[in-house]
Chain A
Amino acid sequence: MEYEVVIGLETHIELDTASKMFCRCSAQFFGAEPNTHVCPVCLGMPGALPVINKRAVEYAMMVGLALNCKIARYTFWERKSYWYPDLPKGYQISQYQYPLCYDGWIEVDVRDVTSGWQEHAERRRIRIRRAHLEEDTGKLTHAGNYSFVDYNRSGVPLLEIVTEPDIRSADEAYAYLSALQQIVRYLGVSSGDMEKGAMRCEPNLSLRPKGSDTFGVKVEIKNLNSLRAVRDAIAYEIERQTRILRAGGQIQQVTLGWDEARRMTVVQREKESAHDYRYFPEPDLPPLHISEEWLEAVRARIPELALARQDRYRREYGLSAYDAVQLTAERAIADWFEEALRTSSAPHSLPARAKAVANWIQTELFRLMRVHNVPLDNVWHIKVKPAQLMQLIELVEQGTINLNTAKQVFEEVFQTGEDPRAIVEAKGLAQISDVPTLRRVVEEVVSAHPQQVQQVLNGQEKVFGFLMGQVMKATRGKANAQLVNQLLREAIEASRT
């Protein structure tokens, strides 16, 4: 029998505010000494009162709007009670009845890129059930009979995003999570870094006979620390469950953990009793009314997102899907690319210019940034400016310099920040296109290498490249290659006896 997988994702994203959700302790806990970003509020001391961090609410609204959610005009906080030492109050301040954001959707391009890039993608829409704001917990380290608790993370703003069970493959889950990560980065509200726990994802998954509209037995997968782990764990579960069902077996409703080392899921030890969260309105926090003005002000802060930009680059500039995806992977790169295009002096040939800029960014710029250990999102802090890349491209297009020289010049701009035109002039790098000058060099090379000239005449084309190289060497690489090619042919033909 053919089975179909039904997947829903629950994702937690730490919002990148400076201070915590309900107190003024620093929320930037990564790498800090344990228990140094704490106060009576985030330690749950009796009598301490929480106050809402407005920026965290705005960040959550931005994500909600980017996910096409409705934003609640009225919401309040609730206490989710459970007993665990990572939670000093014995409850988590969360949202239950009225999530801040609800009923949204996101479109993602699904590709199986495990065996190389695919231009074609299937565009899928995944519905978002809700996105609500809550506080993160402390961090436990288990050692023998003891657990060590660090409350630096306690009270960091956390956004929980829940999809409808719309996801139908491991690749789709991967595409959704990548898109979500990219969105929070574009918005500047979170690093989305899964390795550092800034984005955590728990898929729930069930199999059912293809075409059925009821759900099978659901399992939850935890302990996924990378996008790849999510994809691998889901793929593994689909295979495992399909095998069991085909053999006539039954799926147990369990919580699984992903064992990265053994590349398999394992059943996690869990208390058998059902959770009893006893939600009730948080009496220490007033409800929240969200005005039209506030909502619109927040909406105005949302930039054009990656998928929209990809579509526009392909439509307006004729770029390939590959180029569009590469250029929009980081917002800073996409902004840089667009700024370079804005400085083009030939707006009528934008597609050609866009392709040239895209090539330069993906080859020379990315290469130099990698060599100098500059992360891609720092592109605005490097010395070369978008207008300088455009100037360089125009120097090549006008025939002032050839492509090889341009690469050297670009490297120098990258190092010094000087204008390409100034470098070309100061170093005399302009291409030699003067025919009498080039002809003289060509004739010298031809008379110095009679043997090679004879070989070319005998049909050994490879040797022609050698002679080209000699001319380039004599002109220190500045000769107009197209002209040299033509003059060299003429000279060789003329030497035929």
Chain B
Amino acid sequence: MLTPEEIEHIARLARLALTPEERARFAQQLSVVLDHAAALMEIDVEGIPPTATVLPVHSVMRADDTPMPGLTREEALRNAPQTDGEFFIVPATFGDEA
């Protein structure tokens, strides 16, 4: 069972504000999910190298370094929470690097 502190930490990493009821409910639900996944821990993986993918491809690269135009600025800023037509404007976040 996840502790209230762990739930709070996870919620903060995801930038979620939880009510005390939600905290209790998600602690319950998330613990079940983790327990389920924990079944993997029982498998003997001795001698099996770790993998980073399950796809049978590797080393796919773009050999052509020529740049191509992307979005126009108008398009890029269309979903901005706030903008002055040049920048994305967000609440000041100085020193709040998580």
Instruction: For the complex formed, measure the closest distance between the CB of A64 and the CB atoms of chain B, giving whole angstroms.
Output: 17
Is the Cβ of B13 less than 8 Å from the Cβ of A19?
A: no
In angstroms, Cα B52 to Cα A145, docked, is: 41
Complex contacts, B95 vs chain A, CB 8 Å = 268-271
Complex contacts, A242 vs chain B, CB 8 Å = none
Instruction: For the complex formed, measure the closest distance between the CB of B56 and the CB atoms of chain A, giving whole angstroms.
Output: 9
Complex contacts, A85 vs chain B, CB 8 Å = 88, 90, 93
Nearest A-chain residue to B12, judged by Cβ:
A273
Is B58 an interface position by the 8 A CB rule? yes
In angstroms, Cα B77 to Cα A81, docked, is: 24
Interface size, B (range): 35 or more
Within 8 A of A (CB), among B42-86: 52-53, 55, 57-63, 65-68, 70-73, 76-77, 82, 84, 86
Within 8 A of A (CB), among B1-58: 9, 13, 15, 52-53, 55, 57-58
Instruction: For the complex formed, measure the closest distance between the CB of B55 and the CB atoms of chain A, giving whole angstroms.
Output: 6
Is the Cβ of A147 less than 8 Å from the Cβ of B70?
A: no
Complex contacts, B72 vs chain A, CB 8 Å = 36
Complex contacts, B60 vs chain A, CB 8 Å = 51-52, 286
Q: Which of A26-34, A109-117, A366-374 contacts B (4 or more CB under 8 A)?
A: A26-34
Across the interface, B90 reaches (CB within 8 A) one of A17, A147, A286, A289, namely: A147
Across the interface, A76 reaches (CB within 8 A) one of B52, B66, B70, B87, namely: B52
Is the Cβ of B61 less than 8 Å from the Cβ of A142?
A: no
A144-B92 contact given A37-B70, A275-B98, CB 8 Å threshold: yes
Complex contacts, B67 vs chain A, CB 8 Å = 18-20, 24-28
Is the Cβ of A283 less than 8 Å from the Cβ of B76?
A: no
Is the Cβ of A286 less than 8 Å from the Cβ of B59?
A: yes
Is the Cβ of A54 less than 8 Å from the Cβ of B63?
A: yes
A38-B71 contact given A83-B13, A146-B90, CB 8 Å threshold: yes
Query: Can you list 16 contacts pairing A with B, beta carbon distance less than 8 Å?
Result: A24-B66, A33-B73, A34-B73, A36-B72, A38-B76, A39-B70, A40-B70, A51-B60, A51-B61, A51-B62, A55-B65, A82-B98, A269-B94, A271-B96, A278-B13, A290-B59
What is A's interface to B at a CB cutoff of 8 Å?
Answer: 17-20, 23-28, 33-40, 42-43, 51-55, 57, 76-77, 81-85, 140-151, 268-271, 273, 275-276, 278, 281-283, 286-290
CB-based closest 6 A-B pairs: A39-B70, A281-B52, A76-B52, A148-B87, A26-B67, A54-B61
Additional A-B contacts beyond A37-B70, A85-B90, A149-B90 (16; CB < 8 A) = A25-B68, A25-B70, A28-B67, A34-B86, A38-B76, A40-B70, A53-B65, A76-B53, A84-B93, A84-B97, A85-B88, A146-B82, A148-B87, A148-B89, A273-B98, A288-B58
